[in-house]
Chains A and B, each alone.
Chain A
């Protein structure tokens, strides 16, 4: 059994330090049920980030694949695999995220692309958007950003 950790909405006054925020987060996590089967590709060189992003998507019922560099992402898409959503980091080995994004768009792929990166500067944001991502998100990827996008992709 997974232990029930002390949480805001079950806690005593002593534990009530994040009552509102935790309840809001839980609401966001559970408030979407996908009607369609969506697929996503996560392109991130960092294993921790890639695992977390894939599991977050999976928790909403999205089928995911993950690769750790830009070249493998290009090869996968070139092989004909289709995705509803691509999540891509800016800094990647072999082929960086900006160039990989340009090449993916040049291949005629029009699916939603999220640039999810630890970079937070305006110049990085503009560069990633110019390369072809639809949305620029500073890491970590969280439900507040993801759920509206999934809802849009699901036609809700």
Chain B
């Protein structure tokens, strides 16, 4: 079944994201905060992170291109970047931010520039992986909703048919025919 395949796919992708060190326990925290009142919370927070961090990347690039380099400003930007990446459980991105800040504290411009390339790389890799993963989760969720709709319809049909059979005599008198005739059945089902 497609649903089982999707379930296995979601599980495998999720395990891989943790095993390969892209995500840490904090991502589980996001999943725990997702519920019926916030059904898309994980997607929304990840989107929020990538919107904000893209702006931060632009600010950091500008700061790295300015002469002389303002290491205090750079450190503030990277502090914010590290804080938000750690808050969504982006483990590799956070580690690269930590490395960057060490170069920043040492006022090592070349080190900062090299390190920033790593930050951007990990940031982009995780974005692609999360997009695919969350899309698969959404597909799985939609397949569950579809199945629920189908099962609900089947249950409704069974219950309706049971009620019809219980009230055969009443319907027969109502439509002037025995319920077994096709015409009678159609009329009864339309009435329901």
Contact = CB atoms under 8 A, between A and B. Distances in A.
A48 B25 contact: no
Contacts of B49: 48
Interface in A71-92: 89-91
Contact of A51 (B35, B48, B76): B48
A17 B34 CA distance: 21
Interface in B41-94: 41, 45, 48-49, 52, 76, 79-80, 82-84, 86-89
A6 B83 contact: no
B83 A117 contact: yes
Interface in A16-65: 17-18, 21-22, 25-26, 29, 44-49, 51-52, 55-56, 59
A91 B101 CA distance: 14
B142 to A, nearest CB: 9
Interface string B21-45: 0000110111111111011010001
B26 A140 contact: yes
Contacts of B48: 47-48, 51
A17 B79 CA distance: 31
A89 B19 CA distance: 31
Interface residues of B, number: 43
B169 interface: no
Given A15-B11, A140-B26, A142-B26, A1 B148 contact: yes
B151 interface: no
Contact of A91 (B28, B39, B76, B145): B76
Contacts of B29: 25, 52, 56, 140, 142-143
B80 A45 contact: yes
A18 B19 CA distance: 10
B87 A48 contact: yes
Contacts of A156: none
A3 interface: yes
B36 A1 contact: yes
Interface string A3-14: 101100001001
Interface of B: 7, 10-11, 14-15, 18-19, 25-26, 28-36, 38-39, 41, 45, 48-49, 52, 76, 79-80, 82-84, 86-89, 97-98, 137, 140-141, 144-145, 148
Given A15-B11, A52-B33, 8 more contacts: A1-B141, A2-B39, A3-B137, A6-B11, A17-B19, A18-B28, A21-B28, A46-B52
16 contacts: A1-B36, A1-B141, A17-B15, A25-B28, A46-B52, A46-B80, A47-B48, A48-B52, A49-B84, A52-B87, A55-B38, A55-B41, A117-B83, A140-B86, A140-B87, A140-B89
Interface of A: 1-3, 5-6, 11, 14-15, 17-18, 21-22, 25-26, 29, 44-49, 51-52, 55-56, 59, 89-91, 117-120, 139-143
